[in-house]
Copies of this chain bind each other. A is one copy, B any other.
Amino acid sequence: MTTGVRRRMGVEERRQQLIGVALELFSHRSPDHVSIDEIAAAAGISRPLVYHYFPGKQSLYEAALRRAADELADRFTEPREGPLGARLLRVMTRFFDFVDQHGPGFFALMRGGPAVGSSTANAMIDEVRQAAYEQILAHLAVESPPPRLELVVRSWVSLAESTALLWLDGRRVPRGELELQLVHDFAALAAVSAAYDDEMAGILLPILADEPPGGPFTDLVTRLGALAAAVPSPRSAPLPAPRGA
């Protein structure tokens, strides 16, 4: 019945189409520089019709952000099977896929685009951070995280955000290297905490014990050992030999 004739979309279908079109445009240029006219043109409808579905650019932006936030939160979902290092690496690869795909929109959102300062947008960003935090906790199999673990996981989520933003600004380091680096950073931040807190050590040690020899965590430990051994001066030894006059 619709062949050859432009089928009339239902309200929800049209809204979803507009969200998709807006998200695509926001993914290539900052939302500040995308007009409702362009969104209307890309969707093949008139400007007034866009306003029929969304009262203003802010509401369309927030709807696009909602979809992007759900998609980003999904990327942190990973089966709880196999060593943790490999799981985190898969998550980081999907995270950078997202950042790569939505670059300018992601950048604008996190660095002061039109939706920043809107409590709706801030609440959505926090939702994604919370989803990422809960996913990581689930992978650590810790139900009631002690405050130091919460701090390590939340600050690592924030480190992943800032690393992605720095990468977008020039892309001067290959993203594959940063994905692996963030997995290593997680281990490093957790190890720093565990080095000074027995409860954290009790959580981290069994995880490291489950890591295979070729995994990112054990590779890091081996390399850090080599790095520590390469420190040139005797001053780095715990008990330096007395130096003659």
Q: Which residues of A does B touch, CB under 8 Å?
A: 111-112, 114, 116-119, 122, 147-148, 150-151, 154-155, 158-159, 161-163, 166-167, 170, 172-173, 177-178, 180-181, 184-185, 188-189, 191-196, 201, 204-206, 208-213, 218, 220-228, 230-233, 235-240
Q: Which residue of B lies closest to A233 (CB)?
A: B209
Q: Is the CB of B181 within 8 A of A192?
A: yes
Number of copies: 2
Selected contact of A158 from candidates B158, B172, B206, B220, CB within 8 Å: B158
Closest B residue to A122 using CB positions: B112
Residue in contact with A235 in the complex, picked from B159, B166, B210, B228, CB distance below 8 Å: B210
If over half of A's interface residues share one DSSP class (helix, strand or loop), that class is named, otherwise mixed; here it is helix
How far does the alpha carbon of A196 sit from the alpha carbon of B238 in the complex, in Å?
25
Considering the complex of A and B, which 6 residue pairs feature the smallest CB-CB distances, nearest first?
A117-B117, A209-B233, A158-B162, A195-B223, A147-B172, A188-B188
A175 CB to closest chain B CB (Å) equals 12
Interface centre among A148, A194, A195, A232 (most CB of B within 10 A): A195
Q: Are B220 and A195 in contact (CB under 8 A)?
A: yes
How many angstroms from the CA of A190 to the CA of B16 in the assembled complex?
A: 45
Verify A159–B166 contact, CB threshold 8 A. Answer: no
A224 in complex: contacting residue of B148, B191, B233, B239, CB < 8 Å: B191
Given contacts A191-B224, A218-B238, 17 further A-B contacts (CB under 8 A): A114-B117, A116-B116, A147-B172, A147-B173, A158-B159, A159-B159, A159-B162, A184-B192, A188-B192, A192-B224, A204-B227, A205-B230, A205-B232, A210-B233, A210-B235, A213-B235, A221-B236
Give A142 to B237 CA distance when docked, in angstroms.
Answer: 25
User: Which residue of the partner chain B has the closest CB to A117?
Assistant: B117
Q: Tell me how far the C-beta of A120 lies from the nearest C-beta in chain B, rounded to whole angstroms.
A: 11
Q: With the chains together, A236 CA to B206 CA distance in Å?
A: 11
* Residues of chain B with a CB closer than 8 A to A116's CB: 112, 116-117, 122
Task: Report chain B residues within 8 Å CB of A238.
Answer: 213, 218, 222
